[in-house]
Amino acid sequence: MTAASPLTIATTAAIQKLLAGPPDPENLTAALRYLAKWRSALLANSLRQRSPAVINHGPFKGMIYDLHASEGAFIARRLGCYEASLAPIIETIVTRAYPLVIDIGCAEGYYAVGLARRMPGTTVWARDANPDAQALYATLAAANDVADRVEIGGIMTGDDLDICARQPCVVICDIEGAEDALLRLDTAPGLRMADILVEVHETITPGLPARLTARFAQTHQITRIDRKLDDVALPVWMEQLGDLDRLLALWEWRTGPTPWLWMQHKPAA
């Protein structure tokens, strides 16, 4: 018998603890999530062993991605199908060739580095409060030869966003619910002139999509973008896997809806 890995041992212990008491649907749901993450980790190891560390699909095709995700699912990022519903918006951003991209909550840099590669005339501000994420981003930027065009930093403030009034820019924002406090026209008036792509964490702050939509309705044209999966990115060898494993390869670890708002500023009349 093959010895169990530390991950398998830890997962088994966690599930046994969850299921030690009386039958409980919430505990079963938590156990299912533990098992799904365990299986996802095994699939990620197979992907690393069988495929080069390069994204082969989607808007960031050709990007070297040889590190772990600072949060969330690795496989969908490596395959290039992560947040597949945003692909048309990414193409719009690339076509517009903004001089400045501001990525707030950049994590390990999937979007910031991907856009820097595709927009050679663009400067990228990559911002994340997590020092570990900043270190990962620096590694990813260097691996993809864009480190000279990125500025890495921490928490972004409303005053920092004044730059949006001075030059064309797009703001990409994914900050786990804190978008409600940051994206305000009274404290960050520069946002009036920016195009904004924001992930709205409704499961953290109920009603936030409607509140942000109302807040920016006068200054921006707003489109809501919901989730979808793109199985075209699955490599040929995954045809031999079961349906559940193929679904887990596309799974982004979300516990509920996280819609995006694409808010394009309206030109002055």
Alpha-carbon distance values, 114 to 76, 82, 167, 211, 230 (Å):
14, 12, 21, 30, 18
3-state secondary structure of 90: helix
Question: pLDDT tens, 119-175?
Answer: 999 999 999 999 999 999 999 999 999 999 999 999 999 999 999 999 999 999 999
User: Mean per-residue pLDDT for 225-231?
Assistant: 92
Nearest to 43 by CA among 264, 265, 258, 242: 242
Does the pLDDT at position 67 exceed 90? no
Question: pLDDT tens, 9-29?
Answer: 999 999 999 889 888 999 999
Detail the DSSP E strand segments found in the chain.
Answer: 100-104, 123-127, 150-153, 169-173, 195-199, 220-225, 260-265
Question: pLDDT tens, 173-211?
Answer: 999 888 999 999 999 999 999 999 999 988 888 889 999
Does the pLDDT at position 71 exceed 90? no
Pairing between strand 220-225 and 195-199?
unpaired
Q: How many CA atoms lie within 13 A of 214 on its CB side?
A: 6
User: Mean per-residue pLDDT for 50-54?
Assistant: 93
- pLDDT interval class at 56 (50, 70, 90): very high
pTM for the model = 0.93
Does the pLDDT at position 230 exceed 70? yes
Q: What is the pLDDT of residue 180?
A: 92
* Token pair for 17: 């603890």
